[in-house]
Structure 1
Amino acid sequence: MIAGQIGVAREELFETLEDGREVSRWTLRNASGAGLTVMDLGATILTLEVPDRDGRLADVVTGFHRAADYMRDTAYHGAVIGRFANRIAGGRFALGGRDYVLATNNPPNTLHGGQSGFDKRLWQAEAIQTSAGEGVRFTLVSPAGDEGFPGEVHVSTTYAWTADNHLIIDYAATSDAPSPFNVTQHSYWNLAGAGSGSVMDHHLAIAAETYLPVDGTMIPTGEIAPVAGTPFDFRTAKPVGRDIEAADEQLARGGGYDHTFVLGGEGLREVAVLADPQSGRRMIVSTDLPGLQLYTGNFLDPAASGKQGRPYPPRSAIALETQFFPDSPNQPQFPPAVIAPDRPFASRTIYAFESEAV
């Protein structure tokens, strides 16, 4: 790699962990100076700098200065989540006539892959040339029985950064046996700059007519409910915080928004727009997946010290996670989230950044 060369993924040693493993990071930038850094621990996005309406760059994702902090992190800042993102009820599911038991790391449920999911793994990485430009591809082998899941799964996550500030994320996976499978990117966004305060004044639009209500343990009840007439109606852009304190049982259960929106349409399509009126930064989310999890950082730890020593208190950043539906292995009415030898997985999500005038 050629240090400092625009458009080339530049690799460098990030940190050596206590167990002796070396963590590396890669930098991707375009001619404007905008870009991101990613690391092989968790295939994690460490920083992502984009311009405001005046061309000033700011890092809009939360995170930490040291790789070791990500090993201790329980909020999944910036990581790729698997083998199954979101929750599985009771840590149990049946598949192919067999019952499987998982760790209940979010009692009484399994969350984001279990005790040691993809976010805590050291992925293999290489700089590559994609059709959109330079990128980094991370690959991982999840062995049969990993965290209780069947089948050996080979998974890849590719990040590409374009000249016009689009982050293109391509996922691909194969398995030698049927297994539940659901990956997502778990960055938290604050378009005013990470650690700069609340995101409740950000404006959000989500192209969803319905969403998934949850029970008291945050598992979908099975109902697909209309957003019309509820605080979950983001069909027209509104401030994220406008209705978050409404007297609503669903909001009370999540401590705010922590729900899956059922996306209309098929194939790669625009599903959400997040905008910060103060800076003029906008982020347009496109995906080919059926769901979008909106999480308003309701339980972020204010005692955790982030980049530049800044805290990330509750509701200081927002996650927009493209994925299949939670608890799909136990709810056959949901879109199937199963990988198999004759059913490989491939998906694309794009986070496109732009700035708007006053």
Structure 2
Amino acid sequence: MNISIKDILGKWQEFTLNNDYGMSVSVLNYGGIITKILVADQSGEVENVVLSYRNYEDYESNPHFLGTIVGRVAGRIKESSFQIDDKVYHLEANNGPNHLHGGPQGFHQIIWEAKPFQTDNEVGLRLTHKSPDGEGGYPGNMEVTVTYTLTNDNQLILDYAATTDQPTPIALTNHSYFNLSGNLVSTVHNHLVTIDSSKFVELDQNLIPTGKVLDVEETPFDFRQGLPLRTGFNDSSKQNSIVGNGYDHYFMFDHSKASVVTMEEPTSGRSMTIQTNQPGMVMYTSNGLDEGVSLAENTSEKYLGVCFETQGSPASLHHDAFPTILLKGGERYEQKTIFTFSAIK
């Protein structure tokens, strides 16, 4: 196992974590961005399984949040405001009137303090950031740590931790777009996904949660026994249509299985499982991905990747039916998500 470091554009560093079995993960200190995840297919061919830009300069704007840490709150906050006790807080709007993924100066566009580490069985990168009171409109001085760990079991472990000196919302996630075909050979139409979820959250026309929780039974959202992602691309139901014919919805985990998500790509034989202590996730199938952008191995197009944004739901700021994302002074936010990669031999 080892770690290599490369200077990027004279202002960032890219840390590449390598295990003993050919898997590697590359991360920028800018935005905590995962730029590459290299894993073997069933023939032993090692290829990239996440979307990444061909030109590093494109990460500065990165309108689709490729590979980024998202925060303080991932997802959309209605009307860019929320209330704690009797006080209303106003955030920066960057998605019409709404606040998306931490706003225009969110965690995806800062340079994190980065410290690599290594033991006998794992290599990793610890990223820290001090977010001052009022940053982006959020209350409280917050100290955040995001740790990426790669093991010899081909596990990528993401640990999120934070403290604050006054009540504030927090819902961190990673926004990597996965494509297990390898080097973007094909779209994710035929990726077979299983999700341990019997409920999902209804969206309105502006992609804001209505507060209503829907049953997946007899809908294109019932992934409990596994479905190809194209199921939602080709369905004309309202919830699939309003997000651009696909998925951009919050699934509430049943937590009845060890892995909340399993994804398999039949041609490459690659599979990925997700374990987490988060209450749910947004699955986004890149319905709004711009076409024609230069990516590392191909040009971008709709349905080229799928995001599994494990997180708490910002809908809890306006609807009582959801687990709270408020962190109080003196409390500690701790969340973990584990991605495990394998291939049929």
Interval of TM-score (by shorter of Structure 1 and Structure 2)? over 0.9
Check the 8 A contact 1:194/1:317 in 2, yes or no.
no
Check the 8 A contact 1:231/1:244 in 2, yes or no.
no
2:336 to 325, 333, 348: 348
Check the 8 A contact 2:3/2:16 in 1, yes or no.
yes
Q: CA deviation at 1:130?
A: 6.2
2:323 to 321, 335, 338: 335
Quick one: distance in 2 between partners of 1:174 and 1:243?
Answer: 38
Deviations 1:93-131 (A, max 9, x none): 101311111122111211000111100000000012469
Deviations 1:275-299 (A, max 9, x none): 1000000000110000111100001
Instruction: Report the CA distance shift for 1:130/1:332 in structure 2 as closer, same or farther (over 3 A).
Output: farther
Quick one: distance in 1 between partners of 2:255 and 2:84?
Answer: 28
Task: Report whether the alignment pairs 1:33 with 2:27.
Answer: no
Check the 8 A contact 2:76/2:101 in 1, yes or no.
yes
1:74 to 39, 59, 63: 63
Supply the AA of the counterpart residue of 1:353.
F
Alignment of 1:196-275 (within 5 A): 196-255=185-244, 256-265=246-255, 269-275=258-264
Q: CA deviation at 1:132?
A: 5.4
TM-score, scaled relative to structure 1 = 0.93
Alignment of 1:68-107 (within 5 A): 68-107=57-96
Structure 1 residue runs of 5 or longer lacking an equivalent are 1-6, 17-21
Supply the AA of the counterpart residue of 1:329.
L
Quick one: distance in 2 between partners of 1:119 and 1:65?
Answer: 18
Question: Helix, strand or coil: the match of 1:189?
Answer: coil
Aligned residue number for residue 51 of structure 2: 62
Supply the AA of the counterpart residue of 1:122.
I
CA RMSD of aligned residues (A): 1.5
Quick one: distance in 1 between partners of 2:344 and 2:60?
Answer: 37
Supply the AA of the counterpart residue of 1:261.
F
Supply the AA of the counterpart residue of 1:12.
K
Quick one: distance in 1 between partners of 2:323 and 2:91?
Answer: 21
Question: Helix, strand or coil: the match of 2:6?
Answer: strand
How many matched pairs?
Answer: 344
Task: Report whether the alignment pairs 1:315 with 2:303.
Answer: yes
Quick one: distance in 2 between partners of 1:333 and 1:128?
Answer: 40
Aligned residue number for residue 134 of structure 1: 123
Check the 8 A contact 1:37/1:46 in 2, yes or no.
yes
- Percent of pairs identical after alignment? 34
Supply the AA of the counterpart residue of 2:332.
P
Question: Helix, strand or coil: the match of 2:180?
Answer: coil
Quick one: distance in 1 between partners of 2:119 and 2:133?
Answer: 30
Supply the AA of the counterpart residue of 2:326.
V
Quick one: distance in 2 between partners of 1:351 and 1:25?
Answer: 20
Q: Which runs of 4+ in 1 moved over 3 A?
A: 129-132
Deviations 1:169-188 (A, max 9, x none): 10100111110101001000
Check the 8 A contact 2:187/2:303 in 1, yes or no.
yes
Check the 8 A contact 1:298/1:315 in 2, yes or no.
yes
Structure 2 residue runs of 5 or longer lacking an equivalent are none
Quick one: distance in 2 between partners of 1:344 and 1:307?
Answer: 38
Deviations 1:295-332 (A, max 9, x none): 00001111211114x21201011111100113321222
Supply the AA of the counterpart residue of 1:158.
T
Q: CA deviation at 1:351?
A: 0.5
Quick one: distance in 1 between partners of 2:121 and 2:259?
Answer: 18
Question: Helix, strand or coil: the match of 2:230?
Answer: coil
Question: Helix, strand or coil: the match of 1:69?
Answer: helix
Aligned residue number for residue 305 of structure 1: 294
1:158 to 125, 137, 147: 147
Question: Helix, strand or coil: the match of 2:211?
Answer: coil
Check the 8 A contact 2:103/2:136 in 1, yes or no.
yes
Quick one: distance in 2 between partners of 1:244 and 1:228?
Answer: 18
Deviations 1:135-185 (A, max 9, x none): 100111111101100001110110111112100110100111110101001
Quick one: distance in 2 between partners of 1:247 and 1:306?
Answer: 30
Quick one: distance in 1 between partners of 2:49 and 2:18?
Answer: 15
Instruction: Report the CA distance shift for 1:171/1:224 in structure 2 as closer, same or farther (over 3 A).
Output: same
Deviations 1:63-113 (A, max 9, x none): 114432111110000000001000100101101311111122111211000
Deviations 1:239-285 (A, max 9, x none): 1102422120101111110000000138x941001110000000001
Supply the AA of the counterpart residue of 2:29.
D
Question: Helix, strand or coil: the match of 2:273?
Answer: strand
Check the 8 A contact 2:19/2:123 in 1, yes or no.
no
Quick one: distance in 2 between partners of 1:54 and 1:133?
Answer: 25
Quick one: distance in 2 between partners of 1:199 and 1:213?
Answer: 23
Question: Helix, strand or coil: the match of 1:104?
Answer: coil
Task: Report whether the alignment pairs 1:14 with 2:8.
Answer: yes
Check the 8 A contact 1:211/1:226 in 2, yes or no.
yes
Quick one: distance in 2 between partners of 1:139 and 1:151?
Answer: 16
Check the 8 A contact 1:15/1:66 in 2, yes or no.
no
